[in-house]
Amino acid sequence: MSNKKLFLVFLVIVIFSCTQKPVGQETFQEITLIEETEEPPVVYSLTLSAVGDNLFHETILRTSLVNGVYDFSPIYTEIRDLVRSADLAFINQETVMAGEEFGYSGYPLFNTPQSLAQTLVDTGFSIINQANNHSMDMGRAGLYATLDLWETIDGVTVLGTRKSGASYSLITRNNITLGFLSYTYGLNGIPLPRGEPNLVSVINRTRMAEELKELRPLCDFLIVSMHWGEEYLMEPDSYQTGLARFLAEHNVDLIIGHHPHVLQKVELLPRPDGKQTLCFYSLGNFASNQREKERVLGGMMAVTFVKEEDNHYISDYGLIPVVCHFEPGFANTKVYPFYSYSEELLEKHHLQRFGTIDYDFIYSVLWNLNTRLYIYNPFIRKY
């Protein structure tokens, strides 16, 4: 009998007595009926979180140097449990980590100490996007050194850059396979090395269409990371919206956007297959020391993927607002979920020196963006 289904059993045993009995006195065993029942379908789920630009300015380097050692772990202590509550967590690592021999630096050509890599993994991030406009800040050698660094850490998937191999990545967790592609609008005018056009994935619709077509049948859900748009605009520009429609036409499930350094809206776009593409146009900054009030607000995207037999869908999604806190002198840089960011902390923020940030401003940004997408903790409840 199959372990997966209970079949109808209709057992009739008729026992005729061999002894002499009057006609009509045959003995029958009681009939036993077991109704057929269907086991409920097996349902798998997977939560993915994502944050925006992890942008390490010189001030973060200076204030994180303690007794000759760069310790970046305090930046993430308040957000770590939330990051770890997801099955998988994505971050746009805006800067390369080429090593001390390249010289540590901030804007405009960034190079962050390599100790940051392990700190991000310890915080809970395992999907690292390196395709952005700063990928080539330290040249080919600097990007190679960064990729070599990531190869020393188990369980990490790097998106958008590679020394060789396919442009896409596949990650399977909880019997759900996610397929990832990542692209950047450009490299700040620094050309890719001769003969290595695949070192960093740059937006090109012809190539993207080919890669999307190849990846789509290999995964349950197709996710594209996009480093795009105009910096500091609170609304996506026509370049972003046009590319978002292009990705939806290729049946992409989820778009993770970054680069504008400010929060932008979330949108559902129709697809040819009848489903919808979920697009987060910009998650804003995560950790940075940019000094404008709109740029200290970011968001942690949260999406739940569900797979049951032939039915695959996104069951829940939302955005948890985050605040990048830093005090006068750029001391104590730390990322907080907005729900735990107190008035006492806000009074200490570096931007209070200029009287530019308060709760009314923060609430107005979040309200205008789209209140229905803001969630306290997507792995617990919505509000």
Question: Which pLDDT belongs to residue 41?
Answer: 80
Residues 312-338: tens digit of each pLDDT: 999 999 999 999 999 999 999 999 999
- Our count of domains for the chain comes to 1
Question: Which pLDDT belongs to residue 291?
Answer: 92
Range of the domain at 349: 47-373
**291 falls within a domain:** yes
d(C-alpha 339, C-alpha 101), whole Å: 41
**143 falls within a domain:** yes
**23 falls within a domain:** no
Question: Which pLDDT belongs to residue 298?
Answer: 97
Enter the pTM of the model: 0.88
**11 falls within a domain:** no
Residues 7-65: tens digit of each pLDDT: 222 222 222 233 343 334 444 455 555 566 677 789 999 999 999 999 999 999 999 99
Question: Which pLDDT belongs to residue 34?
Answer: 55
**21 falls within a domain:** no
Question: Which pLDDT belongs to residue 156?
Answer: 98
**138 falls within a domain:** yes
**174 falls within a domain:** yes
Residue numbers of the chain with a pLDDT score lower than 70: 1-37, 370-383
**278 falls within a domain:** yes
The CB density around residue 272, as the number of other CB atoms within 10 Å, is 9
Q: Can you read off the two tokens belonging to residue 194?
A: 């001769």
- The distance from CA 140 to its chain's CA centroid, rounded to whole angstroms, is 27
Q: What is the CATH number of the domain that holds 216?
A: 3.60.21.10
**Cβ 296 vs Cβ 267: under 8 Å:** no
